[in-house]
Structure 1
Amino acid sequence: MHQSPADDALVAAACPGRNGREVVVAGQGPAGATDDYMWGRHHEVATGYSTDAQVRQLGSSGGALTGLARWLIASGRVERVLVTTYDPAYAIGTRSGATSEATVILDGAGSKYCPAAPLVALSDLRAEGDTGRVAVIGRPCDVATLRRAIAAGDPVGARVEVLLSFFCAGTPSDTGNRELLRDLGVDDPAQVTRFRHRGNGWPGDTRADLADGDARTCTYNESWGKILRRHVHSLCKICPDGIGEQADIVAADAWYGDDDGYPTFTEADGRSLIIARTPLGQELLNAARTDGAIATEPLDIREIDQMQPGQINRRRQLRIRIFAYRLMGHAVPEYNSAALAGYQRDLSLKARARILVATLRRLIVLRRKASKG
């Protein structure tokens, strides 16, 4: 179906595959906010967790986003929350929808390392003609797309009250999840009645419950580190915003480190990294804390460098990866060149050359595989 010029303009403005410009450059933010060259604009940085023990246990880290989402409903700040849950009809897939039910929000707790399309659910809200306020939980690319669409005049903006996100290292494909199941000894996804990538502990095991009553599990390191990270979409590897810079509040794993500062990934009580990025996000975090829904402790922003080594390395390497993609003739989004330069400032020339060569080799291998069908 042919799109109108107005639709084309909206896609150009909003699509993260075309627009990667809206990331922070240190020192260019509004009064009252602090800009960090690596971790973006913020009003508060903290660690914390949901004070509901069940939410904290089921969430991927401390259950901060799930706790905030349930509090938004209970406090009357919004009428519904757009959440993504696993799909009962395809256990390693997802479905998204807006809900006011605390149990459904809880069912959406935990990271899902598989394809998702939460913004599709917004079309259902349009069709309903409901004017109630909605909070949206989505990946950084989903939130950035929605923020840009609203700024460009999309009428859904009249409904969306709060944008919540999380740190993201990319979305693995369905092929990757099928490989994960095979590694667990499950050949057919139809055998799986319930699946979880993370949660029920921190970091929590990957678990597949089977129709015969059996269950297969592996660690987070085995599922993400060994298999799924190799199946992340190519565009995710050059995404400028894996840290939710367009969200009101963003959460992540506040990993504990070993003696060298690298995350240990050993099971512990869940702890979330929480960043309030906007005045609204700060207001909501303050209110949720006052109401006892969230408990927090202050955090110096440089401590995130140790908690999130994967994210910091991705951002440091981004400019070089983009250059490699362009050398190989790949289309890439438009970027904020000043931000890219800031990310890589701590990389030596030797490290930059090594990253460039490694990226080119990977792209050449992918091209050869594609040419062989």
Structure 2
Amino acid sequence: MRKIHRSWSGEPSVRHKSAAGGTLTALGRYLLTSGRVHAVLHVRADDRKPWLTMSTISRTQDEVLRGAQSRYGPSSPLVNVHRLLEERKRFAIIGKPCDISAVRSLGRVDPRVEWLIPYMLTNFCGGVHSAHIAKAVLRHHGVDELDVALYRYRGEGWPGPLRVQTRDGSVHDLPYPGAWRMGKFGYELPFRCKICPDGVGEVADISVPDGWILRNGKPVYAEAPGTNVVIVRTPAGEELLRGAVDAAYLEVSPVSVEEIEQMHTNHHRKAAASAALFALRLMGQGTIKISGYRTSDGLKRAGLRGIFQQFAGTIRRVITRENREHLI
């Protein structure tokens, strides 16, 4: 990490609309107006099915703002990468950490990535649930899919409610964080997300999680003016942040690494991912070959309790799946 700050958009309207402080939205808007890029590749709600998410290319500030607010369901922003590379114009990417890793890998075999994608920005990712969760929320509210005019996971406040609005104007809200966890809707992360090492966006130029306010070492989810943390990881990210702050697109204040760890404890569980992979091998399941995973550091951070939880939880899921398949 080269720099860390709390951060939020210098434009109050952008800050309020966005999922948190609007930092990624502000950076995207600044990149276009400063001429650093010709386009920003990111995602937004699907026009036809608002509970789904679609890849979008923004070429103006207003288009970037239209894509503000978190999308917790599945998304595929990279479907437009090759189209933009063919245009031979510089563009930035705002995506999930695994999306940024994929583009970095593409850059090893396609030199255009280094020439044409000077900035890659991401959030912190705790995992991506399936589209079935959004449909379960609609059923919970008794809303037909065809009647949905708006499906917003976050925003219009911080953190803001999960809102479903129908074409006739009726509004149905679920509060954060209960709505995000989706417990009563059968929320379960894919296994790949449980062992993903990319959740904090180490391969991006800048990674931007929520900047939760802490009380007694724990995050508070009460409504407040939106705030992010901005973590600068590369010289390109450092130059971008400095320019955005100088141009008043962003405001920043101090924050510590210890505070960030208290804000985002869900990423600690992934530290014992190698225990989950070991459990798979013991159970005769297919697994993956990994390099550069920092296994020993991860196990040390997870501690005995974290290692046991990953190991036992993986075995339990394998047994449950096998029993289900046997019944079928």
Q: With structure 1 as the length reference, what TM-score do the two structures score?
A: 0.82
Q: Which residue does the alignment assign to 1:145?
A: 102
Conserved? CA contact 1:91–1:189, under 8 Å: no
- Mapped partners of 1:351, 1:81: distance in 2: 39
Question: Which segment drifts farther, 134-143 or 325-334?
Answer: 325-334
Task: Flag the 1:155–1:240 CA change in 2: closer, same or farther, 3 A.
Answer: same
Asked if residue 293 in structure 1 is aligned to residue 286 in structure 2, the reply is: no
Find the partner of 1:181 among 138, 141, 163: 138
Report whether the alignment pairs 1:368 with 2:323: yes
Q: Which residue of 2 aligns with 1:316?
A: 271
User: How far 1:367 sits from its partner (Å)?
Assistant: 3.4
Q: CA deviation at 1:241?
A: 1.1
- Structure 1 match to 2:156: 200
After superposition, the CA RMSD in angstroms is: 1.9
Task: Confirm or deny: 8 A CA contact 2:70 2:154 kept in the other structure.
Answer: yes
Matched residue SS, 1:344:
helix
Question: In the alignment, what sits opposite 2:209?
Answer: 252
TM-score (norm 2): 0.93
- Give the share of equivalent positions with the same residue, in percent: 32
Q: Judging changes above 3 Å, is the alpha-carbon distance between structure 1 residues 164 and 281 closer, same or farther for their aligned structure 2 residues?
A: same
Alpha-carbon distance change, 199 to 151 in structure 1, aligned in 2, over 3 angstroms:
same
Aligned residue among 291, 296, 306 for 1:341? 296
CA gap 1:160/1:353 in 2 versus in 1, 3 angstroms? same
**1:87 aligned onto 2:46:** yes
The answer to whether 1:171 aligns with 2:128 is yes
Partner of 1:13: none
SS state at 1:176 partner? helix
Query: Which runs of 5 or more residues in structure 2 are unaligned?
Result: none
Give structure 1 stretches of 5+ with no counterpart.
1-41
* CA distance, structure 2, for counterparts of residue 84 and residue 229 of structure 1: 25
Q: Any idea what SS the aligned residue of 2:21 has?
A: coil
**1:221 aligns to what?**
177
| SS across alignment from 2:213 | coil
Q: What SS does the aligned partner of 2:164 have?
A: strand
Q: 1:230 aligns with which of 174, 177, 187?
A: 187
Letter in 1 for 2:257: I
Q: Distance in 2 between matches of 1:270 and 1:91?
A: 23
Q: Residue 51 of structure 1 corresponds to which residue in structure 2?
A: 10
Task: Tell me, yes or no, if the aligned pair for 2:45 and 2:53 is still in contact at 8 Å.
Answer: yes
> What is the CA–CA distance in structure 2 between the aligned matches of 1:192 and 1:49, rounded to whole Å?
31
Distance 2:322 2:66 in 1: 40
Q: Which amino acid aligns with 1:289?
A: V
Q: Tell me, yes or no, if the aligned pair for 1:48 and 1:272 is still in contact at 8 Å.
A: yes
Q: Whole-Å Cα distance in 2 between the matches of residues 340 and 363 of structure 1?
A: 22
Alignment partner of 1:67 is 2:14? no
Q: Secondary structure at the match of 2:231?
A: strand
Deviations 1:203-236 (A, max 9, x none): 1100011122211110122222234782322211
Contact 2:43–2:54 under 8 Å retained in 1 = yes
- Paired positions, count: 326
The answer to whether the 8 Å contact 2:219/2:263 transfers is: yes
Checking the alignment, whether the CA contact within 8 Å between 2:271 and 2:299 is kept in structure 1 is: yes
Q: Which amino acid counterpart does residue 144 of structure 1 have in structure 2? A: S
